[in-house]
Amino acid sequence: MRFSPPSRSQGFTLIEIVVSIFIVTLVLGMATLSFRSMQDEGRLKTEGVAVKLAARKLMRQAVENNRSYSMTLAPYFFAVGPTYSQAAFEGSMLGMDPEEAMKQIRGERHQLDEGIQLWVRRWNEPLFRQPRVPFERWVFEPGGICEPLSLRLTYGDATLSMTFNPLTAHVEDESLIIPE
């Protein structure tokens, strides 16, 4: 009976270990980027749902109560409630610091998640812009109509754009862009 000498390949070479570590690092890096994109998408969609629900609620309240309701828009929040006369609203804010004026806005206030900003594009405007300081209103009339409006939520480079139907206050066009 013959015995063969033990072979020399009883472990991994340094090159094999380095290549394996590189591949694992590459896969983990791609998974991390994918996870961050999913988090960004989730944050934008959550805030988008809040805006859509508020718009539908205001339209329903305006029709049911036969009274105008409005959504007050600001870069980092929105507020919903009955519409007060524009002159009284503006007069109460004259001479106020913009930050102080934002604190005085009436209605149920919804603060957007940290890092998310709200942008507005009215019917005749070509580009999205931030709401005018200290406020900008979107009015829902008792006859069941509202101004045609598009809103955009941004978080970093990710954007969620929504165009609302003026007769129903439902979103008729929505696009979500999450950069890779």
Residue 138 lies in a domain: yes
Residue 167 lies in a domain: yes
Residue 100 lies in a domain: yes
Residue 10 lies in a domain: no
H, E, C per residue of the chain: CCCCCCCCCCCCCHHHHHHHHHHHHHHHHHHHHHHHHHHHHHHHHHHHHHHHHHHHHHHHHHHHHCCCEEEEEECCEEEEEECCCHHHHHHCCCCCCHHHHHHCCCCEEEECCCCEEEEEEECCCCCCECCCCCCEEEEECCCCCECCEEEEEEECCEEEEEEECCCCCCEEEEEEECCC
In this predicted structure, which of 86-95, 113-122, 146-155 has the lowest mean pLDDT? 86-95
In this predicted structure, which of 74-78, 80-84, 102-106, 153-157 has the lowest mean pLDDT? 102-106
pLDDT of residue 40: 77
Judged against a pLDDT cut of 70, whether residue 44 lies above it is answered with yes
pLDDT of residue 94: 52
Beta bridge partners of 73: 78, 136
> Quick one: average pLDDT of 14-42?
80
Q: Provide the pLDDT confidence category of residue 101 given band limits of 50, 70 and 90.
A: low
Cα 73–chain centre separation = 13
* Residues 49, 55, 61, 62, Cα dihedral to 10°: -170
Question: Is the backbone peptide bond immediately before 131 cis, with ω within 30 degrees of 0?
Answer: no
Judged against a pLDDT cut of 90, whether residue 127 lies above it is answered with yes
Mean pLDDT rounded to a whole number for the chain: 82
User: What CATH number has the domain bearing residue 161?
Assistant: 3.55.40.10
Residue 159 lies in a domain: yes
| pTM, entire model | 0.72
Judged against a pLDDT cut of 90, whether residue 119 lies above it is answered with yes
Beta bridge partners of 117: 154
Q: Are strands 77-82 and 158-164 parallel, antiparallel or unpaired?
A: unpaired
Name the residue range of residue 36's domain.
16-177
Judged against a pLDDT cut of 80, whether residue 79 lies above it is answered with yes
Express each pLDDT in 146-171 by its tens digit. Answer: 889 999 999 988 999 999 999 989 99
pLDDT of residue 116: 93
Cα 143–chain centre separation = 29
State whether the Cα torsion 78-90-126-124 is positive or negative. Answer: positive
Number of separate domains in the chain: 1
> Quick one: average pLDDT of 95-120?
73
